[in-house]
Amino acid sequence: KDLAELEEKAEENLLMLCEEKERQQEKLCELKREVLLKEREQKLEEALDKQMEVLSPLVSVLERFKEQYKSFAVSLDATRHKLPIKNIHIEGDMPTYLDELQKQLTITQELLEEVMPSYSEESAKASSILKDLKEVSQKLDKELRRSFAQVQKLSYEVSKEVSLHNQSICEENHGLDVVKHWYFN
């Protein structure tokens, strides 16, 4: 009876120790996680400090750049409707010059339209001829491939026949037993 009671107590103690061990292991894992997190945070803080050291002098440059960019954008917006004209002498005022230029461009366009139809007809003819030429060349290519394959096959057959003919002549001249030793050991 005492032994059974002692065994029960020992089992209970063993269960309690196992549970305590599991709790301690969980606590250990949690502490390890916390330590790793703190180390990672410390490394990130060090990297951030280094970045701050390197980038802090650039803040003033960035501010200057923003101001210059804003003034550039304002001046660009103000002058975007006027195209700069360099090395061109314009007699009179700009609107008159632009009107005259528009007339000349219209005349040039009309002349090009008169000339272009004849070229477009010629290019259409050339295009159809090129298409026909392409089709003919593709047909010739197919025929040449087929002919080449036939020539290769014929060449193979001729070589085979010549080889067999020479073999039969050698067998007649030297005898079948001698020729066997040439081909087979």
pLDDT value, residue 118: 60
> Are the C-beta atoms of 177 and 169 separated by less than 8 Å?
no
Q: Is 131 helix (H, G, I), strand (E, B) or coil?
A: helix
The full DSSP string for 148-159 is: HHHHHHHHHHHH
pLDDT value, residue 84: 56
Hey, what are 149's tokens? Answer: 């394959």
Q: Is it the case that residue 8 has pLDDT exceeding 60?
A: yes
Q: Report pLDDT digits (tens) over 28-81.
A: 999 999 999 999 999 999 999 988 888 887 778 778 888 888 887 777 776 655
pLDDT value, residue 31: 96
pLDDT value, residue 167: 85
Domain boundaries, the chain: 1-86, 89-117, 128-184
Q: Report pLDDT digits (tens) over 71-119.
A: 877 777 766 555 555 556 666 777 787 778 788 888 878 777 766 666 5
> What b-and-e string marks burial along 11-27, b requiring 16 or more CB atoms within 10 Å of the CB?
eeeeeeeeeeeeeeeee
> Are the C-beta atoms of 26 and 34 separated by less than 8 Å?
no
CA neighbours closer than 13 Å in the CB half-sphere of residue 86: 1
